[in-house]
A = this chain, B = another copy of it.
Amino acid sequence: MIRITQEADYAVRICCILARCQKTVGASEIAREACVTQKFALKILRKLAGCGIVSSYKGAFGGYRLDRNADDLNVLEIIEAIEGPLKISKCLDCDHECTKNPVKDDCKMHHAFMRINDILTENFKMITVGKLNDRSISVDDLTGYMKNTE
Q: Which residues of A contact B (CB under 8 A)?
A: 1-6, 9, 12-13, 16, 34-36, 75, 79, 83-84, 86-91, 99-101, 108-109, 111-116, 119-120, 123-124, 127, 132-133, 135, 139-140, 142-143, 145-150
Contacts and interface: CB of A to CB of B under 8 A. Distances in A.
A66 to B, nearest CB: 17
B120 A124 contact: no
A9 B89 contact: yes
Contacts of A111: 139, 142
A32 to B, nearest CB: 12
A84 B5 CA distance: 17
A9 B91 contact: yes
